[in-house]
Structure formats: structure tokens, C-alpha cells
């Protein structure tokens, strides 16, 4: 419990409230990027870079992000937003929300260094990332239903999971492209600096606006301390 810190409640909501889950299956994806680029996240990339969200007329709901412990864990909580009037899908059930409470519709818990769990719409997903080499990270996706789901709900979760995430997922395929472009960009001489939401570069905060990129900083500060790296002179 001390390890999970303030992520416990978010994780509980993510795991359908009581954690009584039923395994649906596994997928894996190899991303052409370094594992450290894979683990960075920011709230604002979704409407800017995910063309699928634009095509589906799908905007995010209100939310926040916060640091769960000093070990670099980070949580995202946001209300669910359901796409309005998408015309590009013949079968709109792929992005239908059948859950009970839109207020807990979207949750992400990212545990240092490479574990991520997500709940979006009716998808319940855990991800374990393994660095293959400096250019490649392999991510294993695990999908769940709830034990009380009827047959239709299990099938719905299965279809939605594999259409949003994994090798054929509309979210993951676009992330793959973005990860790779960031990886190429990271070979450019110089430094990549998180700026959005940073008020004082020398002060770590624990609460962030939903779309800030400063939520990545506590994780990298913990990484620096674990690795024994000295902080570069300002």
C-alpha cells in the first residue's frame, strides 16, 4: 500500500471498483522508440495528434493529474466524454460507453518505471513494458472484463479493447507513429525540456492541470535519484 500511495483510489476505480475481473486476453506491440519516450505522457497531445479523435468528433472530459508518491507514479483522472455524431464508423458500438458513471470514465495509473493501467470507455487494460534495446520497447497489453458482465458486455469489452488499443487499436497505432517521431527528434543535439505547466524548474509540484506536461517531471526526478545522476547546472 505504501508503494501505491495516493494511486490506490484511482487504481480501484480503474479496476471496476472492486477488482473482480475476468481475463479477456493479451496482445503485444513493439514500438520503435526508447522506453523513456514511451513512458512520457501529456494530456494535450490527444486532441492535437490523434487524428482518429478528430474524425470521431471526440473531445476529452474535465480532469486532473497528480503525483501518487515520491517514487514517480502519476495518475490521470477525467470524466468520460463520448464521441458526438461520428460519421466515419458504420458500427458506432465500437466507441459506445455502457458503463455506469461517466465521472469515472477515464483513468490512467502509471507506476514507475514502465507499468501503465488504463480505463477508457469500457476498456480495462494493464500494460507491462520491457525495453528490448535503446531503439525498441515491447509492450504487453492485458485486457479484462468484470466478473458480473453478461455475454454481450464481455463481447463489447473485447471488441472495444482491441479496436482502441494494441496492434490494431486506433489509439495505439497513432501513438506508435508519434513515439517513433519523438524518438527520431530525440537524436537531435540539445535538450528536450518540459515547459507546459512548469512554474519553477527547481520546484517539483504534485498537482497538475489535466493538459500539463510538467506531470512527467517527478518521474524523471525519481529516475535521476535512483540512477545517481547529478542534476545539471541550471
Q: Which of 16, 46 has the CB closer to Fe ion?
A: 46
Does residue 175 belong to the site contacting Fe ion (CB under 5 A)? Answer: yes
Residue pair 32/165 in contact by the 8 Å Cβ criterion = no
Does residue 77 belong to the site contacting Fe ion (CB under 5 A)? Answer: no
- HSE-up of residue 69 (Cα within 13 Å, Cβ side): 14
Q: Minimum distance from CB of 22 to Fe ion (Å)?
A: 27
Among the listed residues 2, 161, 5, the one whose alpha carbon sits nearest the alpha carbon of residue 75: 5
Closest residue to Fe ion using C-beta atoms: 175
Does residue 40 belong to the site contacting Fe ion (CB under 5 A)? Answer: no
Q: Which of 13, 175 has the CB closer to Fe ion?
A: 175
Q: Tell me which stretch binds Fe ion (CB under 5 A): 8-16, 123-131, 158-166, 173-181.
A: 173-181
Q: How many residues does the chain have?
A: 234
d(CA 63, CA 56) in angstroms, rounded, equals 20
Q: Tell me which stretch binds Fe ion (CB under 5 A): 61-69, 86-94, 95-103, 169-177.
A: 169-177
Exposed / middle / buried, residue 39 (Cβ in 10 Å: 0-12, 13-18, 19+):
buried
| CA max distance for the chain | 59
Q: Which of 122, 175 has the CB closer to Fe ion?
A: 175
Q: Which of 67, 118 has the CB closer to Fe ion?
A: 118
Beta bridge partners of 106: 78, 120
Would you tell me which residues interact with Fe ion (CB under 5 A)?
Answer: 175
Amino acid at each position: 500500500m505504501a508503494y501505491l500511495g495516493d494511486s490506490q483510489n484511482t487504481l480501484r476505480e480503474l479496476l471496476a471498483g472492486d477488482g473482480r475481473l475476468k481475463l479477456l486476453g493479451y496482445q503485444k506491440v513493439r514500438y520503435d522508440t526508447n522506453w523513456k519516450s514511451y513512458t512520457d505522457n501529456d494530456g494535450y497531445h490527444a486532441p492535437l495528434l490523434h487524428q482518429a479523435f478528430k474524425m470521431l468528433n471526440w473531445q476529452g472530459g474535465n480532469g486532473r493529474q497528480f503525483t501518487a508518491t515520491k517514487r514517480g507514479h502519476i495518475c490521470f483522472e477525467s470524466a468520460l466524454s463520448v464521441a458526438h455524431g461520428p460519421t466515419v464508423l458504420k458500427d458506432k458500438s465500437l466507441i459506445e460507453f455502457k458503463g455506469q458513471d461517466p465521472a469515472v470514465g477515464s483513468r490512467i495509473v502509471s507506476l514507475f518505471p514502465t507499468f501503465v493501467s488504463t480505463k477508457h470507455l469500457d476498456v480495462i487494460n494493464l500494460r507491462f513494458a520491457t525495453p528490448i534495446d535503446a531503439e525498441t520497447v515491447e509492450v504487453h497489453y492485458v485486457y479484462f472484463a468484470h466478473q458480473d458482465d453478461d455475454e454481450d458486455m464481455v463481447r463489447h469489452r473485447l471488441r472495444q479493447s482491441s479496436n482502441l488499443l494494441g496492434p490494431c487499436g486506433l489509439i495505439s497505432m497513432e501513438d506508435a507513429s508519434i513515439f517513433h517521431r519523438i524518438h527520431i527528434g530525440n537524436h537531435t543535439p540539445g535538450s528536450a525540456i518540459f515547459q507546459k505547466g512548469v512554474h519553477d524548474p527547481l520546484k517539483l509540484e504534485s498537482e497538475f492541470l489535466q493538459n500539463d506536461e510538467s506531470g512527467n517531471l517527478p518521474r524523471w526526478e525519481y529516475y535521476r535519484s535512483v540512477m545517481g545522476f547529478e542534476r545539471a547546472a541550471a
